[in-house]
Amino acid sequence: MLPLLSDFSLALLMVILCSTTFSPLMPLSLIYLREELRLERVLKAAAMEDRTVILTTLNEAWAAPDSIFDLFLESFRIGDHTHMLLNHLVVIALDQKAYTRCLAMHTHCFALLTEGVNFSGEAYFMTPDYLKMMWRRINFLQSVLEMGYHFIFTDADIMWFRNPLPHFYSDADFQTACDHFIGNSYDVQNKANGGFNYAKSNNRTIEFYRFWYSSRETYPGYHDQDVLNIIKYDPFIIEIGLQMRFLNTAYFGGLCEPSKDLNEVCTMHANCCYGLDSKLHDLKIMLEDWRRFLSLPEDLKQLRLSSWRVPQNCSLTSLRHHGLPPKNIEQEESD
């Protein structure tokens, strides 16, 4: 963990490290320090006054023109008071092409390149590349907490229509969206979705993320969300005193369980969906539905007559069409 430095000390150290040519014989500790300083600079530039940042991850497949990233940014621009939140969004690029595209489209970008691993293509659900990408994300988020930053993590296939901050629980350390919400934000029976969560930086969340990441070895072949839905019952959560809450799908919806009222929805996730083309199709319709809602007179909005026309291509029928065996459909729903 990087110790807190003054602005001058941080700037001086950056100059020294960034002007140094690193050879293969350079100690790994110095290389890691340079990367952490680079990340610190990006996070600091994007952080809100309370050191909260919004984070998403991106690879080449999702960063391509007219793909997920474009729709993601568009949702912020056409959302209700969400445009300003782009100032606090840090895009974590998992490959060089995603990083290059991010720099062309957005202010705050960070290249998280993993030697020997190629995350650039579409990572199909539950393939080895998919699992590596998901667990790399959890490991990275732990490091952000260790650096003293709170974060809202969002998958890029989540559309932001309203500022979610007023709907977070002030007493929670970690709160997560759900594929299915059963009505009680404390109930661990809620089916958590790892694609959207808010974590405060403290000893409890750092220990939790460390436990979550290490649990990949306890449950090999599972992705991070499946493991989250297992370890949420673990006594260790109570031992460390972590306050976990589950977010209501009325505000944080998805294609698994859409938000019913467009007057209240904050985010909508293209979960319960298989394949990039299906996601793109339904996300575009979702944005069209939102624009139609915004164009209504205020009195008609309050009548709550508007509804989503999705899911369409993203549905259990489409999952079966892609040939997924029945036992995998429940897992695939959450992707």
Query: pLDDT-based confidence at 295, cuts 50/70/90?
Result: very high
**CA dihedral sign, ordered 222, 225, 226, 231:** positive
Whether residue 25 is predicted with pLDDT greater than 90 in this model: the reply is: no
Q: State the pLDDT at residue 320.
A: 47
Q: Is residue 83 part of a domain?
A: yes
Q: Is residue 201 part of a domain?
A: yes
How many CB atoms are located within 10 Å of the residue 32 CB? 12
Contact 177, 193 (CB under 8 A): yes
Q: Is residue 28 part of a domain?
A: no
Q: Is residue 26 part of a domain?
A: no
Q: Which of 260, 257, 10 is nearest to 147 (CA)?
A: 10
Q: Which of 194, 184, 178, 325 is nearest to 253 (CA)?
A: 178
Contact 178, 196 (CB under 8 A): no
Lowest mean pLDDT of 34-38, 67-71, 122-126, 160-164, name the range. Answer: 122-126
Q: Is residue 248 part of a domain?
A: yes
CA distance linking residue 13 with residue 18, whole number of Å: 8
Contact 248, 169 (CB under 8 A): no
Output 268 or 5, whichever has higher pLDDT. Answer: 268
Counted domains in the chain: 1
Token digits for 264?
């209240």
Map residue 167 onto helix, strand or coil.
helix
**pTM (predicted TM-score):** 0.85
Query: pLDDT-based confidence at 28, cuts 50/70/90?
Result: low
Q: Is residue 168 part of a domain?
A: yes
Whether residue 329 is predicted with pLDDT greater than 50 in this model: the reply is: no
Q: State the pLDDT at residue 259.
A: 96
The predicted model gives 184-197 an average pLDDT of 98
Q: State the pLDDT at residue 306.
A: 83
Q: Is residue 102 part of a domain?
A: yes
The predicted model gives 46-53 an average pLDDT of 98
- Percent of the chain surpassing pLDDT 70: 79
Domain with residue 93: its CATH number is 3.90.550.10
Query: pLDDT-based confidence at 274, cuts 50/70/90?
Result: confident
Output 282 or 118, whichever has higher pLDDT. Answer: 282
Q: Which of 279, 262, 278 is nearest to 270 (CA)?
A: 279
Q: State the pLDDT at residue 324.
A: 45
Alpha-carbon distance values, 193 to 23, 29, 267 (Å): 42, 34, 13
Cross-strand bridge partners of residue 176: 197, 246
Token digits for 125?
């659900």
Alpha-carbon distance values, 233 to 139, 189, 196, 229 (Å): 21, 9, 19, 8
Q: Which of 28-37, 115-124, 210-219 has the highest mean pLDDT?
A: 210-219
- Rounded to 5 degrees, what angle do the CA atoms 143, 145, 148 make? 115
Whether residue 180 is predicted with pLDDT greater than 70 in this model: the reply is: yes
Domain enclosing residue 220, as ranges? 45-333
Contact 195, 301 (CB under 8 A): no
Token digits for 25?
């014989």
Query: pLDDT-based confidence at 221, cuts 50/70/90?
Result: confident
Q: Is residue 122 part of a domain?
A: yes
Q: State the pLDDT at residue 133.
A: 77
Whether residue 223 is predicted with pLDDT greater than 70 in this model: the reply is: yes
pLDDT digits (tens, 9 = 90+) for 108-157: 999 997 655 554 444 444 455 667 777 889 999 999 999 999 999 999 99
Q: Which of 45, 36, 73, 46 is nearest to 58 (CA)?
A: 73
